Structure formats: structure tokens, C-alpha cells
Amino acid sequence: MRVLGIETSCDETGIAIYDTEQGLLAHQLYSQVKLHADYGGVVPELASRDHVRKTLPLIQAALSEAELTSADIDAVAYTAGPGLVGALLVGACIGRSLAFGWQVPAIAVHHMEGHLLAPMLEDNPPAFPFIALLVSGGHTQLVRVDGIGKYELLGESVDDAAGEAFDKTAKLMGLDYPGGPRLAALADGGQPGVYKFPRPMTDRPGLDFSFSGLKTFAANTIAAADASEQTRADIARAFQDAVVDTLVIKCRRALEATGLKRLVVAGGVSANKALREQLQAFTRQIGGQVYFPRPEFCTDNGAMIAFAGAQRLLAGEQVDIVIRTFPRWPLEQLQTPANAD
């Protein structure tokens, strides 16, 4: 069964074709980073318009890459939320219309479920159950995963997500958009321990996160420091170390509380090299294992949507002709397919 996946939740247009027997057949991605760079962040209207321009050409490119035609597609999966409402509507309208025209099922996919399942596209996928750390610009969540649609939210950010804090701190430091990766690159040249940042909400029980105060601490540190490149690198290093340590501490707590040894880390921040190294070291220490998607599948992409859609279709799920999107869609409200194992 071949599933066409369409991802348009924010500022990347991602298209992919996934075959349930052969795996990923095609993967096309267009990033709008240059379009939004002058504004210092994503402009929703511009994002929607660019998805209109790029989605259909990328679908044709994916079909060509896989050496397929529309007659070879068995289903269409599209991101229905959460995300920017205009951007979501572009992908949902195109996806549902193609499914109707091709007379194949359509599957509305939860964006964060796509991220959560992205490591299953790799050669050594995790088995259920596991703990998932979903860490991106819009979300920081710890989730117990017992199967497709069987999710228990263990903790989440009460204010800024980790990726959002990275981007805002980078902007305070005068770094160009997108700031998170640029701050991480700057941190590579920083000396550890020159500045000491707090590890928020690690001095109390629980699995929730808070990064807003860390951003404020960074702003005060930047304002009081000199403007040398080494100082900037040292501040970036201190900030990154604080975020990474906080995420690792909470992951450790989640695994200890559940007794599980498998950890999945997905979302844009999962590409951060320091985070990967720390989590790999920690899981080895406890005799566990951590799973990451490949770097190109950490950010938004069509492959994760095609894969998640295929799993839900195999479980008997599809949507009716009505097009619906959900700009706010808590993961814990996602239903378990009736035929899921």
C-alpha cells in the first residue's frame, strides 16, 4: 500500500510517498526560511501562499522520484493540526481533494503523532512501549506510547517550548532567523562553566517544563556582559547546557517513573548535537536505548505524515469528505484507531 503524505503545518512544504512493504519511496521538502528571514519569524499569510505555490509541484516531483503515477497511490495523508490554520487548510484541501479525485481513502494526521513516529522510519525502529520526548519550536512534551494512538501525556511545558526559548534567546543575541540552530553553532565555541544558568523546575517533583524564566535569565546576562564573540559563545553554551540538562533530567524521571528503558526523541530540537550526546550517554548508563529520526526528519517533513497515515489506514481509519483542520489539537485527544493492536 502506497501512501502520499502532505505536510504544510507551518513553514515547510513536505511531500513523501511511503510503501508499507518497501518503505520510503520518495521525499521532497521545500523550506520557507529565506522567505521569512527578513521578518525574524514566520508570517502566517506568506506561509499559506507559499504552500499554495509549492505543494502540487512537489507532489509531482515525488511521483517522478518514485517513478509512479497517481494511479499507483492507495491513500493520501495530510496534516490536519496543530499548526497555522491557513497553512493547514492548504494541505488539507489539496490532500482531501486529491483523495476524492483519485477515489482513494484520505487520512487526517496529527502533526505531533507524525514526529513521535518518525524514528520508526529508520532501520532499527523502537518497539512499543516507550517514552517519547517531543521537543520543537511549539512543543515540549513527555509522552508514554503504548501503541498507535495509545498516548499518555506525562508532562509538558507550562510556557515557552524548548525550541521557542532557543529562538527567542538567539534573537536577543542578534542572531539571524532561524535562531535555534545558529545559537547551537555559536555554543560550540563556548567554554563550559563560565556562566551558570538555572535548570528550571528540576528542583521539584514532576515532569512539566518551563523555559520562559531561562530566556529572561539569558536576557539579563546578555545585557550585563560585554559584546565580545567569546562572551557571546560562552553565554550561548551556558544557555544550551541548561536546556539540555533540564531535558535529560526530566527524561530520566519519566523512565524511572514508568520502568521503561526505551526513549524516543523527535521534533526540531532533537537534531541538537549536545542533546543527542547527553541522552545517548544517559541511556547507556541505565542500560536503555534512545532512538532519533535522521536529521532531515527532525524538522517538519512529509515522510513522517505518510508513515503515520499508513499506520492509521492499516488500523482501519480514514476521514469523510468534510475537510477539517485543528490549529489547536492536544495529542492526548487523539483517538486510538478501532482496529489498532
Residues at the binding site are 111, 115, 134-138, 167, 180, 272, 300
User: What string of H, E and C letters represents the secondary structure of the chain?
Assistant: CEEEEEECCCCEEEEEEEECCCEEEEEEEEECHHHHHCCCCCCHHHHHHHHHHHHHHHHHHHHHHHCCCHHHCCEEEEEEECCCHHHHHHHHHHHHHHHHHHCCCEEEEEHHHHHHHHHHHCCCCCCCCEEEEEECCCCEEEEEEEECCEEEEEEEECCCCHHHHHHHHHHHCCCCCCHHHHHHHHHCCCCCCCCCCCCCCCCCCCCCECCHHHHHHHHHHHHHCCCCHHHHHHHHHHHHHHHHHHHHHHHHHHHHHHCCCEEEEECHHHHCHHHHHHHHHHHHHCCCEEECCCHHHCCCCHHHHHHHHHHHHHCCCCCCCCCCCCCCCCHHHCCCCCCCC
The dihedral sign for the CA sequence 17, 18, 22, 23? positive
Binding residues for substrate: 134-138, 167, 180, 272
Beta-bridged to residue 295, according to DSSP, are none
Separation CA 87–CA 77 (nearest Å): 15
Binding residues for Fe cation: 111, 115, 300
| Cβ atoms < 10 Å from Cβ of 48 | 17
Write the single-letter amino acid at 136.
S
Cell numbers placing 156: 509538558
